[in-house]
Structure 1
Amino acid sequence: MHNYLISIVGPTAIGKTTLSIKLAKHFNTEIISADSRQFFKEMSIGTAAPSKEELKAAKHHFIHHKSIQDQYNVGEFEKEALQTLESLFKTKNIVIMVGGSGLYVDAVSKGLDYFPDVDNRIRDQLNADLESKGLPFLQEQLKLLDIKSYNSIAIDNPHRVIRALEICIGSGNPYSSFLNKDKTKRSFKTITIGLTADRDIIYNRINERVDIMIKDGLLDEVKNLIPYKSLNALNTVGYKELFNYLDGNWTLDFAISEIKKNTRRFAKRQLTWFRKDDRILWFDYETPLDTIIAELNKKFN
């Protein structure tokens, strides 16, 4: 029998964590998190990290293993995740991976694209431009240099925009021209499950989750992170909006409404990313576990 990585993807708040634990129990295995926001131990409530009970129900890897002050990127995650998988596959034929960060999911299951080294001064200048001229300036620059990337990456994420721009400028070629080249073959097979629902259901689940986060103490979590708010890890939905409230720019009600709106936009981008992969087995979020397991069993050989 081959070694299999069962990857669970889909929009935020759809129920990926719950399904991953059920499958981990069924297959007597462990879970790798590919949610790039849940890596950081200081960010728990706002990232909807698994609860203590959920972490006890199945062994997880890559949950709260880093600090927001650590430098950590997708390349390092790919390397560490592959090392963890190699170790787990010595005693298990199946491992579960769960997460809505498409780039991090793809890094493990497919491998990263190769990019040329570029002068660090280019990134420094782009960060300075972000600070002085704002994200829209960088977005327009990317639109001119690489319209394909402009239309496909998370354009509201400064880190992603700067990464694309530094490759465009440093190499003289579009960032998109380096994507989807031949990559290193994996020693395991990946079966990807996608959870979805009607848009109204997804949006309602997001709104409810944000309300629960606020009730569970998200504002206090963000208050404790004020000294670090300039860090890239905290430039994320749920945190940046409450920093605006704490800075006196917004009311609390408006900040909460912005968290909901930006999370809905994030979910839309997640679905756009994952729907590009025609190998994903899509299930309604209420599909019975037995049905999903039956479909998985058909894929094993």
Structure 2
Amino acid sequence: MSRDISPKVITLMGPTASGKTALAIKLVQEFNCEIISVDSALIYKGMDIGTAKPTESELKYAPHRLINIIEPNESYSAADFRRDALNEIEKILLRGKVPLLVGGTMLYFKALLEGLSPLPAADETVRQQIALEAQTKGWSCLHEELSSFDPISAARIHPNDPQRLSRAIEVYRLSGRSLTELSQTKSDTFPYDVVQFAIAPTDRKMLHKTIEQRFSEMLAEGFVEEVRKLKARKDLHLDLPSMRCVGYRQCWEYLNGDIEYDIMVEKAVVATRQLAKRQLTWLRGWPELNWLESGEENNLATIMRLCR
């Protein structure tokens, strides 16, 4: 029988391949929780193997909200996630359950817990104008322009990062205020009590080994064929956020004949390690975080104790 725990919301963060899903499923079985996914890859339909999406069996015992919600050719922002997550949290609370937010997309967690800046919505006309200027003058010239009105963003954004550079200029042209200035203003903060956990192995080598092993399992489960089906779609290409998910870009390049199979495997594993490193960097600076060790038998008891 499930047991009640008192906090209104629990978060379970961690790098990729750290054991978040397995622990979350145990929490659902043991306690009065329902899972909300906080993962920018699990949102996509048809991307199951390479994203390590929970299996049908796992979802039967522990349904995940906010997975399989959009097509890979569609966009989904941190603002979209915050809106949807707050909506799902309210539904779970009305059912007398405890929302358990699980994932490794730290930008989503940050948007949810800290609120969002009042940035203007994307404007395709302005973006096309910026892209045209980049073709004629070069991104380095546009980077100098950014430095003139937003030196802080210019110092943070590399001249060879056209996506972020374009967005910073677009924000200024649309609002007359710099990205730095607008980012200092947040929307409403998180309206619920929250207890936060992060899970990770203490040995970095162990995490690397798990990442390598998991990718091998993905390949055995048919990952290449999954990407082959995605590549056959006429509406998908490598510039989409969905195809920038680790593993997918490398496998696409292999199917394109650009790299050999062994190189694809190596590049995908390295990209996943780099993702895990970035996630851990975020987490080390995260406030009010209770750390759990991957595979530790007492993790459930620790969560129960800290949530009383």
Structure 2 contact 120–175 (Cα < 8 Å) conserved: yes
2:211 aligned with 1:206: yes
Question: Of residues 268, 271, 293 in structure 1, which corresponds to 2:301?
Answer: 293
Q: Secondary structure at the match of 1:220?
A: helix
Q: Identify the residue that residue 89 of structure 1 maps to in structure 2.
A: 93
Q: Secondary structure at the match of 1:46?
A: coil
Structure 1 contact 118–171 (Cα < 8 Å) conserved: no
2:189 aligned with 1:181: no
Aligned amino acid, residue 229 of structure 1: H
Measure how far apart 1:150 and its partner are.
7.2
Output one character per residue of 1:245-284: Cα deviation in whole Å (capped at 9) or x when no partner.
Answer: 1111110110111101111111111112222212111121
2:259 aligned with 1:250: yes
Q: Identify the residue that residue 237 of structure 2 maps to in structure 1.
A: 229
Q: Relative to structure 1, is the Cα distance of residues 28 and 299 closer, same or farther in structure 2, using a 3 angstrom cutoff?
A: closer
Q: Relative to structure 1, is the Cα distance of residues 30 and 147 closer, same or farther in structure 2, using a 3 angstrom cutoff?
A: farther
Measure how far apart 1:29 and its partner are.
2.1
Aligned amino acid, residue 98 of structure 1: V
Structure 1 contact 2–189 (Cα < 8 Å) conserved: no
Give the Cα–Cα distance (whole angstroms) in 2 for the partners of residues 260 and 171 of structure 1. 41
The TM-score with structure 2 as length reference comes to 0.82
Question: Of residues 73, 80, 101 in structure 1, which corresponds to 2:77?
Answer: 73
Aligned amino acid, residue 273 of structure 2: R
Q: How many residue pairs are counted as aligned between the two chains?
A: 295
Q: Secondary structure at the match of 1:30?
A: strand
2:279 aligned with 1:270: yes
Structure 2 contact 143–159 (Cα < 8 Å) conserved: no
Give the Cα–Cα distance (whole angstroms) in 2 for the partners of residues 256 and 249 of structure 1. 13
* Residue pairs, 1:128-167, within 5 angstroms: 141=143, 145=147, 162-167=166-171
Question: Which 5+ residue runs of structure 1 have no aligned equivalent?
Answer: none
Q: Percent identity?
A: 30
Aligned amino acid, residue 248 of structure 1: G
Give the Cα–Cα distance (whole angstroms) in 2 for the partners of residues 121 and 72 of structure 1. 20
Aligned amino acid, residue 306 of structure 2: K
Structure 1 contact 32–62 (Cα < 8 Å) conserved: yes
What's the C-alpha RMSD, in Å, of the aligned pairs? 3.2
Aligned amino acid, residue 275 of structure 2: F
The TM-score with structure 1 as length reference comes to 0.84
Q: Relative to structure 1, is the Cα distance of residues 285 and 129 closer, same or farther in structure 2, using a 3 angstrom cutoff?
A: farther
Aligned amino acid, residue 233 of structure 1: S
Give the Cα–Cα distance (whole angstroms) in 1 for the partners of residues 266 and 292 of structure 2. 29
Question: Which 5+ residue runs of structure 2 have no aligned equivalent?
Answer: none
Give the Cα–Cα distance (whole angstroms) in 2 for the partners of residues 12 and 287 of structure 1. 17
Question: Of residues 37, 53, 56 in structure 2, which corresponds to 1:49?
Answer: 53
Structure 1 contact 31–60 (Cα < 8 Å) conserved: yes
